[in-house]
Structure 1
Amino acid sequence: MATLCLFAQNKTFVYQLDYRYSDKKDDKKKETFTLDIVNQQSVFRTEDEKKSDSLLANGKYGYGTNLNLENQIYVIKDGDKNEISKFYRTLLKTYYDVKITEKLDWKILPDKDKIGDFEVQKAEVNYGGRNWTAWFTAEIPIPEGPYIFNGLPGLIVKVKDSRDDYDFTLKAVKKNTGDLYLKKRGLRIDYPTFKKIMMNHYNDPYTEARMANVPIAKDDGNGNPVRTTFTEMTPSVQKHIRDTNNPIELNYKNDYK
């Protein structure tokens, strides 16, 4: 990962992600993410995650998390260590730190265009079992971008995969407070290990809660809690995981049945 230049210090770049969360053509959503850069570190996460991290850093309660861990998008780039990591958090706040080792071998093309207010140039790369097209601008001379993407001679304004499953687009540039509110470091693992953990989570999504003797209840449809069991709740969680099984890293996609 290239070293960030002085322009990048204390900047926040707001991106919109348009994505397909399943293999069905019309299963699409939009979400707003922030890329916060302070000195040689950056963090890419949803706006809600950023608010949650800020609350936790100030001794308050954060927000809940996505039950499908593979759909959590939280990336930290460390320019000093030349490392990129994805962070995942379970329901009971077990943290996993997955180091990204796949290299980005960019091919910069002569094609140029204009996106919003920026003059941009085209580049292509393979990552995560997907082919990606990016548009970067030399007007913001930092080698950064959304998600794990970096290493081009200018900020990535837009990047999307060839299947039209994931499309990141820059929407705004702001100053930030200089505090990233980073999560605590989790258990460092690689992607193959994480894939196995995800399969175990699918097979028994309430393992942590059961071991911690966490009480469980469900809504009776009228806003009233009624007693239930983890066994009774498991099929609905498994269905949700199957129905949202379109991760960015297709090369590590689990076949849930």
Structure 2
Amino acid sequence: MIKNIIKYLFVFVGIICLSYSKSKIKKHKIYQVLYEMKYQKDSLDEKSLTIEIMELFTNSELSLFRSYEYSAIDSNKFGFSVNRINLQQKILSTYYVTKDLKSNVVGFFDKIRLGNKDSYVYYENIANKEDSWIVTSETDSLKGFSCQKAYIDLGGRRWIAWFCNDIPISDGPYKFGNLPGLIIDIHDTTDTWRFSFLELKEVDGMPKNHKSETAKEITKEDYYSLKRNYRDNMVAIEEASNNSFFYFSSTAERSRVVNAKKISVKKDNNWIELYP
């Protein structure tokens, strides 16, 4: 279902490209950009390919990046039909990324435990500021846009970006930004992670980052330590918290779940940032 929906979205991309490449982006206006995020959860298994629709809200000073499905409750406020994306698809990305484009600070907000409302946040300087990019003179046409090629190293990966100078929005998906134009496509050199432009539209307001209200600030190192610990010991952690979803009728049933989780952990080896 979602593949057909994405196919129809692309039918309109050419029209959208032409309209925005010929018109000026208004300063301080807020724009919503939809991206298709495509990645392999298991770097050794092409069948683990996963697709998720992500959205970027941005103006000349601030931006917010998150899963479109995860935030669908807010979509009608901005004039988008939640029926356009198959919301029955499993939501995989619960994180929010905020950027302060003036001070070059990025905030990464996420929860770690299933069904738990506790959120964490770490802040770091935007590593991909202009002097971190290798901007080339190579150009190409992508989805009707005239684009220019650039490289950057982020999260243990080399990324290849194509940005459009005709759309003067110095932003892009995830933590990427600070190029002379909007990032239309960016992928890593293993081609197991890719963000591709789908749609651009002016909207009335910037969504509220609800996670910022209760998020506990920790270091990036602590975030990854907590995330790995939970991934590797999920059953024991949830049992200790009396989570009813982790009630087992027998020792044999528990062993089956634990063993299945161990297999799942081995295949969850291709996080967007290869953080040690």
Aligned-residue RMSD, C-alpha: 2.9
Mapped to 2, the partners of 1:125 and 1:170 lie a distance apart of 18
For 1:74, which of 96, 99, 119 is the aligned residue? 96
**Cα gap change, 1:15/1:52 in structure 2, threshold over 3 Å: closer, same or farther?**
same
Mapped to 2, the partners of 1:117 and 1:199 lie a distance apart of 41
For 1:242, which of 266, 272, 276 is the aligned residue? 266
Which structure 1 residue ranges, 4+ long, deviate > 4 Å from structure 2? 52-55, 63-66, 226-232
Superposed counterparts of 1:46-61, under 5 Å: 46-52=67-73
The answer to whether residue 68 in structure 2 is matched with residue 44 in structure 1 is no
Superposed counterparts of 1:75-224, under 5 Å: 75-79=97-101, 81-89=103-111, 90-91=113-114, 92-101=116-125, 103-104=127-128, 105-185=132-212, 186-206=215-235, 209-216=238-245
**Cα gap change, 1:238/1:25 in structure 2, threshold over 3 Å: closer, same or farther?**
closer
More helix by share: 2
Mapped to 2, the partners of 1:22 and 1:126 lie a distance apart of 21
The answer to whether residue 50 in structure 2 is matched with residue 29 in structure 1 is yes
- Size of the aligned set, in residue pairs, is 230
Secondary structure of 2:69's counterpart equals helix
Mapped to 2, the partners of 1:192 and 1:179 lie a distance apart of 30
TM-score normalised according to structure 2 size: 0.73
Structure 1 gap ranges (5+): 56-62, 219-225
TM-score normalised according to structure 1 size: 0.78
Mapped to 2, the partners of 1:81 and 1:106 lie a distance apart of 17
Secondary structure of 1:23's counterpart equals coil
Structure 2 gap ranges (5+): 1-24, 77-87
Q: Once the 2 structures are TM-superposed, how far is the Cα of residue 179 of structure 1 from its aligned partner?
A: 3.5
Q: Once the 2 structures are TM-superposed, how far is the Cα of residue 78 of structure 1 from its aligned partner?
A: 2.4
- Percent identity over the alignment is 26
Residues 142-199 of structure 1 show CA distances to partners (whole Å, capped at 9, x for unaligned) of 1100110011011111111101011111111112231413122212222221222123
**Cα gap change, 1:216/1:47 in structure 2, threshold over 3 Å: closer, same or farther?**
same
Q: Once the 2 structures are TM-superposed, how far is the Cα of residue 234 of structure 1 from its aligned partner?
A: 3.6
- The answer (yes or no) to whether the contact 1:217–1:227 under 8 Å persists in 2 is no
**Cα gap change, 1:120/1:41 in structure 2, threshold over 3 Å: closer, same or farther?**
same
Q: Which range is displaced more, 132-141 or 169-178?
A: 169-178
